[in-house]
Structure 1
Amino acid sequence: MVNLPSVLSLQGCDLRYADSGGDGLPLVFSHGAGADHVMFDAQRVHLRDRGYRVVVWDLRGHGLSRPAGVPFTAGQAVADLCALIGHLALDRPVLVGQSLGGNLGQAVVRRHPGLARALIVIGATSNTAPLSWRERLLVKAAAPMLSAMPARNLPGLMADASAVTQDARTDARRAFGQLSKKEFLQVWRATVAFLSPDPGYRTPVPLCLIRGERDGTGNIAAAMPRWAGTENVQEVVIPGAGHIANQDNPRAVSEAIEAFLRTLPVRGRPG
């Protein structure tokens, strides 16, 4: 675990982050809803040691970036990530996001197509894909279902649904336990707000899609393969991993990210 020594004060919140520095290709990792930067510990070390400049951060209201200051919304999350990129003067970083972080990365690329060099999404659906009636019903029902869960049970239930391995589940319980039920529901609603169907949209930068073989959350198991087909990219399916594939099988995810990065233009990339 890295302690996020640096601070960017923005809209009433001290956003905490860590930057490995250096001249390598910059990567910015954004975690999932209710999680924090710890979920990317293995990827941070793996890629830093190979010469990449790695930035991890805790989204507003998560981990060490507390208190949130202002409500967590989709628009505020986009503003925060763009502000962090500007603060660090990163030259077209690769955005890497898991779940909510993947939806956030998509939104930044869509709104600011020249800001990022590439996009890596782990365990998330396309923001712009059309939704079937069944999928719309699932999205609509999720918040009431979460609201009905006893607050004390929510971290454990979410962790067990998200991860397969015991280590990943244990860390997910720790992370989810940092948010109140009210805060988590606010973050969930923000995640849903990223969904904006636009069937003709195509990602304007190189795209890498990574999914856990055993991801049973939402519609990801069916939706990510469709997304890959629409974008004409090959999704990477991580063996034996659930929704939090980067913690269930960290080595496989780190290697998948590294392999994708090596397909990008050489400028700024480690040799």
Structure 2
Amino acid sequence: MTAGDFTIRALDIDLSVRQSAGKGLPIVLVHGSGASKAVFDRQFSSPLSDLFRLVAIDLPGHGLSENSPDASHYTLGGFSRSVGAVIDALGLERALIFGWSLGGHVAIELAQSHPAIAGLMVSGAPPFGKGPISLLRAFQIHRDMLLAGKEMFTPADCERWLRMCYGPVPYPAALSDLKRTDERVRPTIAQSLRKPEGPDQKTIVEDLAVPVAFVNGGRDPIVRLSFFESFEMPTLWQGPHVIAEAGHAAFREAPETFNALLHRFAMDVTIAELRQDRAERQSARGRG
């Protein structure tokens, strides 16, 4: 598959994908609610795209991907299955996954279920447990947060959402991407998170066998940074990282700092994969 944009038919809908020509470990990038793969332009225009095989996906109902005919794709599980289907279609045997905001929660679900995931990095996506108390501990509570479950956006809603997510300078396509997003996405996600049988992402992350990295902006208006201090697990990569000068979209607001962290994490995951492969080959020779 050559570098550039293309479409993959997965789970009965067309999904738009962008990838770079890098030959290193694949890094799957998953955007947040109301965004698209275009939000990762500062990763694709960086040296990361030459070193690693960057793969960004427009989630169902976003960007150039199709809408879900019955909104069944608009849950964390549904989005996760869509990303997993793209990974399978591309034949990625091992990959690192980075998810931002909603995409971070999708990435957590995928890391639990897909055998190709070799490492997980999330930003702006606190792995919450079950129940409303956990959500209150994970997220800041203010008026603009109610937009996350609102179906129809007014022009004022769009302005508030973009400011909350991207600060004063959103990416060029941010407003058009937000207006294009299927209006059923936000309420469907919000309803699925409120259900008693909803996801327990805190337990998922704590039980993962692969390296996990948390990278957040120090001025993020959505997540509670203190929530990440509660995670103690052997797979945590160098402790929670905070980019002090950034807000919710740290990978855009401080791309040089973020890209350096992603590069280091990807290299550490790559080295761990090589060591594991070597150990497995030696074990196989010993059995032979």
Point out where structure 2 has 5 or more consecutive residues left out of the alignment.
Answer: 275-288
Q: State the partner residue of 2:103.
A: 101
1:159 aligns to 2:162 (yes or no): yes
Q: State the partner residue of 1:116.
A: 117
Pair 1:198–1:40, CA change in 2 (3 A): closer
Q: Identify which of 156, 176, 180 aligns with 1:174.
A: 176
Pair 1:191–1:231, CA change in 2 (3 A): farther
Q: State the partner residue of 2:285.
A: none
Larger gyration radius, structure 1 or structure 2: 2
Q: State the partner residue of 2:136.
A: 135
Distance in 2 separating the partners of 1:40 and 1:191: 26
Structure 1, residues 32-79: CA drift from partner, whole Å, max 9, x if none? 111110111111232544421111110001011033334122222121
Distance in 2 separating the partners of 1:203 and 1:94: 13
1:92 aligns to 2:115 (yes or no): no
Q: State the partner residue of 2:226.
A: 222
Paired residue secondary structure (1:96): strand
Distance in 2 separating the partners of 1:131 and 1:124: 16
Amino acid at match of 1:154: D
Q: CA deviation at 1:221?
A: 2.2
Pair 1:22–1:262, CA change in 2 (3 A): closer
Pair 1:4–1:13, CA change in 2 (3 A): farther
Pair 1:145–1:165, CA change in 2 (3 A): closer
Distance in 1 separating the partners of 2:43 and 2:255: 7
Q: State the partner residue of 2:277.
A: none
Distance in 2 separating the partners of 1:133 and 1:5: 38
**Structure showing greater relative contact order (alpha-carbon pairs closer than 8 Å, 6 or more residues apart):** 1
Say what the alpha-carbon RMSD is for the aligned residues.
3.4
Pair 1:148–1:167, CA change in 2 (3 A): closer
Q: State the partner residue of 2:69.
A: 69
1:210 aligns to 2:215 (yes or no): yes
Pair 1:54–1:216, CA change in 2 (3 A): same
Pair 1:78–1:150, CA change in 2 (3 A): closer
Distance in 1 separating the partners of 2:55 and 2:135: 37
Point out where structure 1 has 5 or more consecutive residues left out of the alignment.
Answer: none
Distance in 1 separating the partners of 2:243 and 2:174: 19
Pair 1:59–1:202, CA change in 2 (3 A): same
Amino acid at match of 1:16: S
Does structure 2 conserve the Cα–Cα contact (< 8 Å) formed by 1:211 and 1:236?
yes
Q: State the partner residue of 1:40.
A: 40
* TM-score (normalizing by structure 1): 0.82
Does structure 2 conserve the Cα–Cα contact (< 8 Å) formed by 1:129 and 1:199?
no
Q: State the partner residue of 2:240.
A: 235
Q: State the partner residue of 1:258.
A: 263
Distance in 1 separating the partners of 2:51 and 2:135: 45
Does structure 2 conserve the Cα–Cα contact (< 8 Å) formed by 1:128 and 1:195?
yes
Q: CA deviation at 1:187?
A: 4.0
Distance in 1 separating the partners of 2:212 and 2:47: 18
Distance in 2 separating the partners of 1:22 and 1:150: 38
Percent identity, please: 22
Q: For this pair of structures, how many residues does the alignment match? A: 264
Distance in 1 separating the partners of 2:163 and 2:27: 29
